[in-house]
Structure 1
Amino acid sequence: MTPLSTQDRLDGVALLVLRLGLVWFIFLWAAHKIITPAQYQGLAQHYDGVSLDNAQTYALAGAQIAICLLALFGIMRLFSYGALLVMHFFTVTRRLDGFLDPFALNERGFPIHRNQVIDLAVLAAMIALILLIRRDNFSIGGWLRRRAGTFKWWM
């Protein structure tokens, strides 16, 4: 295994920071499903017309947290990073109305759709993480790839 160049280390650190931030973002949403399941159940009913009980909500949160842990350590990177992207994309599709009116204000003058703008930035960051997966050197998958000497999509 050859040592990393300075540029490879910088790229790896940048992607580590990006990955940690994105995992934390999704983890918070998943953890809130455990902390306040009724809130998520109300959202699922409102946006998707789906009724969930506590056990289903906890199971969904558990699966999301498991994916967050895989992504946190960079294990099965294409799967775990892709799953983060799919989870977030699902949320983005539920809030399309805010993209059509990004400057809407409530009666007190507060912007009501600015979270949708944040959603787009996070979605772009997740796409970038996947596109730069070969430069993700400070992950278990990156370490395995360097050790094997070749890129393998499942790492």
Structure 2
Amino acid sequence: MALHDKATLRLQDRLDGLALLVLRLGLAWFMFLWAAHKVITPRQYQNLARHFDGVDVSLAQVYAMGGVQIALCVLVVIGVFRYFSYGSLLVMHFFTVTRRWEGFFDPFAVNDRGFPVNRNQVIDLAVLGALIALVLLIRRDHFSIGGWLARHDRARWWM
């Protein structure tokens, strides 16, 4: 392989890693906001659990869920335990998507004031796709602690 070809591949590899860094940080921020709201407005999440899932959860349970989700977002930001942390965000978001199917079948619905009522569900699908892509491309996620350790053949359990 020519020197030019190797340099091009290295550049592309770095650009892929940079793209995944942007994707990872954006997704972590998106998920962090939802998790932080559980801590800031726990009663809202009690009402959502009752409305969507038909279950009553205590304030302590809402705080615990928010805390665990915030911790996972921190793991994603720094890129450690990548299969676990990225996969956990994917599973959590997939759970949210499965609870709101009805909006996917009517993405252009508006209420009596003309407000689009199902646009969050459409956004949810885009985020789900991005989370799936992040997990599928985890080996190209070079700008993370797990990626650095993998490149330097360090402890595999950090990946």
- Asked if TM exceeds 0.5, the reply is yes
Q: Are 1:124 and 2:111 an aligned pair?
A: no
Choose which of 52, 56, 62 in structure 1 pairs with 2:67: 62
> Alignment partner of 1:148: what SS?
coil
User: 1:10 maps to what in 2?
Assistant: 15
User: 1:20 maps to what in 2?
Assistant: 25
Choose which of 89, 95, 107 in structure 1 pairs with 2:94: 89
User: 2:143 maps to what in 1?
Assistant: 138
- 1:64 is matched by which residue type in structure 2? Q
Q: Are 1:78 and 2:83 an aligned pair?
A: yes
- Deviation string for 1:76-112 (max 9, x for gaps)? 1011000000111111111111011111111112211
What's the % identity of the aligned pairs?
A: 71
User: 2:42 maps to what in 1?
Assistant: 37
User: 1:48 maps to what in 2?
Assistant: 53
Say how many residue pairs are matched.
Answer: 151
Choose which of 100, 103, 106 in structure 2 pairs with 1:101: 106
- Deviation string for 1:9-41 (max 9, x for gaps)? 111110000000000011000000000000000
Deviation of 1:117 (Å): 0.7
TM-score under structure 1 length normalisation: 0.93
- 1:16 is matched by which residue type in structure 2? L
**Which shifted more, 6-15 or 138-147?**
6-15
Counterpart Cα distance in 2 of 1:153 and 1:48: 35
> Alignment partner of 1:142: what SS?
helix
The structure with higher relative contact order (CA 8 Å, sep 6+) is 1
Quote the RMSD (CA, aligned, Å).
Answer: 1.7
TM-score under structure 2 length normalisation: 0.90
The structure 1 segments of at least 4 consecutive aligned residues displaced by more than 2 Å after TM superposition are none
